[in-house]
Chain A
Amino acid sequence: MTALSVTGLAKTFREKSGDVHALGPVSFDVPQGSFLCVLGPTGCGKTTLLRTIAGLEVPDSGSVDLMFRADGRQPVVGYVFQQGALFPWMSIHDNVEFPLRARGNIDRITRRMRVGAILEMVGLSDFSSSYPHQLSGGMQQRAALARSLVMQPDILLLDEPFSSLDTRTSQDLQENLRNTWKEAATTVVFVTHNIEEAVYLAGEVVVLGHRPGRIVRRQTIDLTDPRSRLSREFTNYLVSLRRTFKELVEEPE
């Protein structure tokens, strides 16, 4: 089953200094329950792609099709920004509760239980009454992740959520995310420019080339869990993707 289907998606930003052809056209399908990484150098349009899928940008052409839920309702899409985008005037609990209140059809007790459970899962139970600025960058990103997961999304979109964190924290959160994905059985689209991160997380990697963003390579990552960054297979994927990347960067525009 295809959870998300992108067909001929293209986007051009019209700026005063001239048009910027940011994306596409690109087409790809994401099977339900899979973990897709969109990998590409800075400025290749990968954020634009993700924003268009989330409905934050209107594409010039092409379409995004989301599979309806089993009960026939609109699918729920979660989105995690590069910088948490937590609301600074709300406690962590209130931030995570926000999407449940916004949707308005969930009673208070259920809301409290779901928020409690999700905070427990990301290890922030002790910080539910803290404000975002009192938390470290890594904890803020975990709270942002919790805020999306609490909606029980059918598709979770993540835009370089760990790129501003140090390596150690970032690797912890990667492990955390992969485990969460396996438990929650949602479809994940994860955008990154970090090759190692992509190989560690993804079931499939889509490499996006320079402006305008277009798919230059699709690579299935066939590794057994738990994934080790030191294994030979891991390194092979890494080297191979790095080569593709190098050609991309050196390619004359």
Chain B
Amino acid sequence: MKNRLPGLVIPLLLLLWWALNTGGGRDTLLPSPVEVFSILAHPFQDQISTGSLVWSMTVSLVRITLGFSLAALIGIPIGLVMGASRHVRKYLSLMIEMARPLSAIALLPLSIILFKSETLSQFLGISYLRYQKHLFNEIQIGMIFILFWGGVFPIILGTIQGVRSVRKLHLEAAQVLGARKTFVFRYVMIPSALPDIFHGLKLGIGRCWMVIIAAEMLPGTNSGIGYLIRYSYQLSRYDIMLACLVIVAIIGAFFSKGLEALGEKSLVLRSRER
């Protein structure tokens, strides 16, 4: 029989929640699972005049997509170069080790100084959008910057690790088969490093997701799922708040499982070597 126990964890937690909620007949602020699910069941309904759950989710997702893509586009090349060249690594590693512990949230004030509250529509010069309800008005450049910051370091470190763990045997094989350096880099080093790059991406998107939710809860923001968590709390709408937490958890898991699945094939091929 297949082990079905892992599938029981979530129902058990729900049961616990329900028991906490109703047990003992005492007053509790915690909304019941039923209340929360009735919020989740109407994803397109406007919630406390901030737009629907889908709208808040979309804003957060677009922000994270932009920030994370930027982190990947810049982090992977930096990691590749740092992994391949000892000189570059020597120059950059101290800088990266200094920058890495600076939490993205700590940089929020700095990003406000640097980018003010400029939005994507202003940045792209499409100012006529300004007075409409448009997605681009909700994407602050500063937010993308801190998302980038949150995601880029795990990606860089994962990529370096991947390039450095390329087997010497494979490099020598490529050498005796007549491959030049650029060819080796493209067809041996990168495929070898792929599982670690994917691992870095997975950690990176997890960090981005944490950063975006926290950043949206800071004053000055007026959209996104993180904002909705804070705002619904202020209005004592704990049912909405919990619904948002459920959404955040599900999307977060979806991100990491998705990237894990993408990286799986390369990992299997690398690890099956005799």
B173 touches A85 (CB 8 A): yes
Give the distance to chain A from B254, nearest Cβ to Cβ, in Å: 27
- A residues in contact with B175, CB < 8 Å: 55-56
B177 touches A151 (CB 8 A): yes
- B residues in contact with A64, CB < 8 Å: none
Most buried by A among B191, B272, B274: B274
Which listed residue (B177, B178, B179, B272) contacts A88, Cβ 8 A? B272
- B residues in contact with A140, CB < 8 Å: 274
B180 touches A79 (CB 8 A): no
- A residues in contact with B183, CB < 8 Å: 101-102, 104
- If A83-B169, A87-B191 touch, does A98 touch B177 (CB 8 Å cutoff)? yes
B269 at interface (Cβ–Cβ under 8 A)?
yes
B178 touches A99 (CB 8 A): yes
Tally of A-B Cβ pairs under 8 angstroms: 68
**Per-position 1/0 for B143-154, Cβ under 8 A of A:** 000000000000
Which listed residue (A81, A83, A89, A147) contacts B269, Cβ 8 A? A89
Give the distance to chain A from B186, nearest Cβ to Cβ, in Å: 10
A sample of 28 cross-chain residue pairs with beta-carbon separation below 8 angstroms, ordered by A number, consists of A54-B176, A78-B176, A79-B177, A81-B169, A81-B172, A83-B274, A85-B170, A85-B173, A87-B170, A87-B191, A88-B269, A88-B272, A88-B273, A89-B191, A89-B192, A89-B194, A89-B269, A89-B270, A99-B179, A101-B183, A101-B187, A102-B177, A102-B178, A104-B183, A133-B273, A133-B274, A140-B274, A151-B177
- Give me the interface of B with A, judged by CB distance under 8 Å: 169-170, 172-180, 183, 187-188, 191-192, 194, 266, 269-270, 272-274
Closest 3 CB pairs of A and B: A133-B272, A102-B179, A99-B177
